[in-house]
Amino acid sequence: MGVIERREREKAELRQRIVDTARRLFAELGYDAVGMRAIAEAIEYSPTAIYLHFKDKRALFHEICRQDFGRLAEVTREGTSIVDPVERLRRLGEIYVKFAVAHPNHYRLMFMTPIQHDESDLSDEDRKRAGDPTCDGYAALLEAVRYAIAEGAIDRKPAEAQLVAQTLWAGVHGVASLEITMHNDPWIDWSSLSRRRDEMLDVVLLGLGANLEARKPVSTGSTVSTGSIAKKAGRR
């Protein structure tokens, strides 16, 4: 490797180190509480070194979002080709929770840290990705909901697709955020994550009008079949 190549590699490594450190500090202390100087101190560099890579804190935060939301969209694509509409929704929920607990700092910053977003920060490339199910996780969920409604798998009107998607999102977010923040709480005898996730998906999908009758559970973690839950719901 030549001198130029080595310098470029070192530059890229430092840039990523800045991103990873800033993500951790933003998630732990809050975005507003962390300045560029604190990030520089954490990586043992001068603030000037950071400004060579990012013009300000918002630019740094934007790069974190670009990486993390891109990563979530990438893993989400695994579930978008499933033909069965309800199975697709369940799989997207499973993928979401798995991503959250595997990357807690990423998730805290993405969905659990209040930050005022400025649309002027969006690049032309960001605007192209918005709403594209192949690179926008929420768009992939919304597309799956619309598909389920069109196929009659969820008894809702097309105009309610946003509400259905946001309700499903709220459900998986609840499971994920509790796991990240409370899983070591000694006062609670937690059920397994897979059972909590599957139970929540069953209940929410039933409440949204999904037909779960005679279906086998997607995950082997749950001992209660979705068919039996549907029958119980029908007797109420």
Instruction: Please indicate, yes or no, whether residues 113 and 24 belong to a single structural domain of this protein.
Output: no
DSSP per position, the chain? --HHHHHHHHHHHHHHHHHHHHHHHHHHH-GGG--HHHHHHHTTS-HHHHHTT-SSHHHHHHHHHHHHHHHHHHHHGGGTT-SSHHHHHHHHHHHHHHHHHHSHHHHHHHHSS-----GGG--HHHHHHTT-TTT-HHHHHHHHHHHHHHTTSB-S-GGGHHHHHHHHHHHHHHHHHHHHHHTT-TT--PPPHHHHHHHHHHHHHHHTTB--TTPPPSSTT-SS-HHHHHHHHHH-
Q: For position 144, which CATH number holds?
A: 1.10.357.10
Question: Looking at 35, 54, 73, which one is the last position of a domain?
Answer: 54
Instruction: Please indicate, yes or no, whether residues 39 and 117 belong to a single structural domain of this protein.
Output: no
Domain that holds residue 136: 58-235
Question: pLDDT tens digits, residue range 84-140?
Answer: 999 999 999 999 999 999 999 999 999 988 776 666 666 667 667 777 888 889 999
CB 139 within 8 A of CB 133: yes
Instruction: Please indicate, yes or no, whether residues 220 and 149 belong to a single structural domain of this protein.
Output: yes
Q: According to the model, what pLDDT value does residue 213 have?
A: 66
Q: According to the model, what pLDDT value does residue 83 have?
A: 95
Question: pLDDT tens digits, residue range 78-99?
Answer: 999 999 999 999 999 999 999 9
Question: Looking at 54, 69, 93, which one is the last position of a domain?
Answer: 54
Q: What is the pTM of this model?
A: 0.81
What's the number of domains the chain is made of? 2
Q: For position 50, which CATH number holds?
A: 1.10.10.60
Instruction: Please indicate, yes or no, whether residues 3 and 69 belong to a single structural domain of this protein.
Output: no
Question: Looking at 31, 54, 77, which one is the last position of a domain?
Answer: 54
